[in-house]
Structure 1
Amino acid sequence: MQNTKLKWIYLAVLSLVWGSSFILIKKSLIGLTPLQLGALRTLFAATFLFLIGFRSMRKIATSDWKWVIISAFAGTFIPAFLFAFAETEIDSGIASILNSTTPLVTLILGMLIFSIRFSKNQFFGVIVGLIGCVALILEGASVNPNQNYWYALLVLCASVCYAINVNIIKRYMQHIPPMAIANGNFIVLVIPALIVLCFSGFFKAEVVTNPKVHVSLVYISILAIVGTGIAKVLFNKLVQISTPVFATSVTYTIPIVAMLWGILDNEKFTLYQVLASGVIILGVYLANRNK
Structure 2
Amino acid sequence: MSAHQLKWLYLFTLALMWGSSFILIKKGLEGLTPIQVGAFRVLVTAVILIIVGFKRLKTIPKAAWKWLAVSGLLGTLFPSILFAYAETEIDSAVASILNSTVPLLALLVGVFFFKSRFIKAQFLGVVIGLIGSLILILIGANINPNQNYWFATLPVFASLMYAFNANIIKTYLQHLSALGIASASFLILLFPAIIILAFTGFFDLNYISQPQTQTALLYVALLALLGTAAAKIIFNRLIQLSNPVFSTSVTYLIPIIALFWGILDGEEFNLWQLLAGGIILLGVYLSNLKNRIRQKA
Tell me what 2:265 maps to: 265
Q: TM-score, normalised by structure 2?
A: 0.91
- CA offsets, 1:50-71, max 9 Å, x none? 2222111222111111111110
Tell me what 1:166 maps to: 166
Q: Does 1:99 find its partner at 2:102?
A: no
Tell me what 2:60 maps to: 60
Distance, in Å, in 1 between the alignment partners of 2:129 and 2:35 is: 32
Tell me what 1:290 maps to: 293
* CA shift in 2, pair 1:65/1:236, >3 Å: same
Tell me what 2:153 maps to: 153
Conserved? CA contact 2:21–2:223, under 8 Å: yes
Q: Does 1:83 find its partner at 2:83?
A: yes
Q: How many Å apart are 1:6 and its aligned residue?
A: 2.2
Deviates more, 1:129-138 or 1:101-110: 129-138
Distance, in Å, in 2 between the alignment partners of 1:48 and 1:115 is: 35
- CA offsets, 1:17-64, max 9 Å, x none? 111101000000101111211111011111111222211122211111
* CA shift in 2, pair 1:256/1:135, >3 Å: farther
SS of the residue corresponding to residue 59 of structure 1 reads coil
Q: How many Å apart are 1:283 and its aligned residue?
A: 4.3
Deviates more, 1:157-166 or 1:135-144: 135-144
Tell me what 1:40 maps to: 40
Q: Does 1:226 find its partner at 2:226?
A: yes
Instruction: Show the 5 A alignment for 1:1-291.
Output: 1-286=1-286, 287-288=288-289, 289-290=292-293
AA matched with 2:238? L
Q: How many Å apart are 1:192 and its aligned residue?
A: 0.5
Distance, in Å, in 1 between the alignment partners of 2:283 and 2:98 is: 15
Q: TM-score, normalised by structure 1?
A: 0.93
Work out the number of aligned pairs and report it.
291
Deviates more, 1:129-138 or 1:211-220: 129-138
Conserved? CA contact 1:14–1:231, under 8 Å: yes
Conserved? CA contact 2:90–2:148, under 8 Å: yes
- CA offsets, 1:84-125, max 9 Å, x none? 111111111111122222222211111111112234454444
AA matched with 1:227? G
AA matched with 1:50? I
AA matched with 2:143? V
Conserved? CA contact 1:122–1:245, under 8 Å: no
5+ residue gaps in structure 2? none
Q: How many Å apart are 1:272 and its aligned residue?
A: 3.1
SS of the residue corresponding to residue 30 of structure 1 reads coil
SS of the residue corresponding to residue 58 of structure 2 reads helix
* CA shift in 2, pair 1:111/1:285, >3 Å: closer
Q: Percent identity?
A: 54
Conserved? CA contact 1:53–1:180, under 8 Å: yes
Distance, in Å, in 1 between the alignment partners of 2:122 and 2:2 is: 21
AA matched with 1:220? V
Q: How many Å apart are 1:72 and its aligned residue?
A: 0.7
Distance, in Å, in 1 between the alignment partners of 2:266 and 2:171 is: 42
Conserved? CA contact 2:83–2:155, under 8 Å: yes
Conserved? CA contact 1:90–1:151, under 8 Å: yes
Distance, in Å, in 2 between the alignment partners of 1:157 and 1:275 is: 22
SS of the residue corresponding to residue 137 of structure 1 reads helix
5+ residue gaps in structure 1? none
Q: What is the root-mean-square deviation in Å for CA atoms of aligned residues?
A: 1.9
Deviates more, 1:210-219 or 1:235-244: 235-244
* CA shift in 2, pair 1:143/1:191, >3 Å: same
Distance, in Å, in 2 between the alignment partners of 1:248 and 1:138 is: 25
